[in-house]
Amino acid sequence: MDPIRAGRQMDKLRRRREQVFMTLQHIDKEQKQVEQNSDWLDRAAFESRVNLLDRLNGWYITEMEQIDKALERIKKNDYGICLACHGPIEAGRLETAPEAEYCGACQDFRERLAAG
């Protein structure tokens, strides 16, 4: 990938990382408020809220890890190279998912395997 496009992708990834970081801080604040609130009338509602916040936290942590890996690949000049087939990842795919590790074909194959 040419240095200009890699630089644009790095900027995009860094901006998204900052957004994810801020979201994780907000979720942490929400979790603390839920735990401190003793006015829950329904135990099931409390548990549902806690579970939702835990899942959201997990999703955003995973996204942060993916972004960090993509930033590391840019630094190593491996960005835009599929981790499975070592071919190029489609430019459109990187535009919509700059943290993508696999080309479209390899990602589809992985998803079919995971689905069983």
What residues does each domain of the chain span? 1-77, 80-116
Q: CA-to-CA distance for 113 and 1, rounded, in angstroms?
A: 29
pLDDT tens by residue, 32-60: 998 888 777 788 888 899 999 999 999 99
Instruction: State both tokens at 3.
Output: 């240095």
pLDDT at residue 62 in the model: 97
Query: What's the whole-model pTM score?
Result: 0.84
For the residues 13-20, what does the mean pLDDT come to? Answer: 97
- Residue (of 90, 110, 108) closest to 98 by Cα position: 90
Q: Closest by alpha carbon to 13, among 58, 102, 55, 73? A: 73
Is pLDDT larger for residue 39 or for residue 102? 102
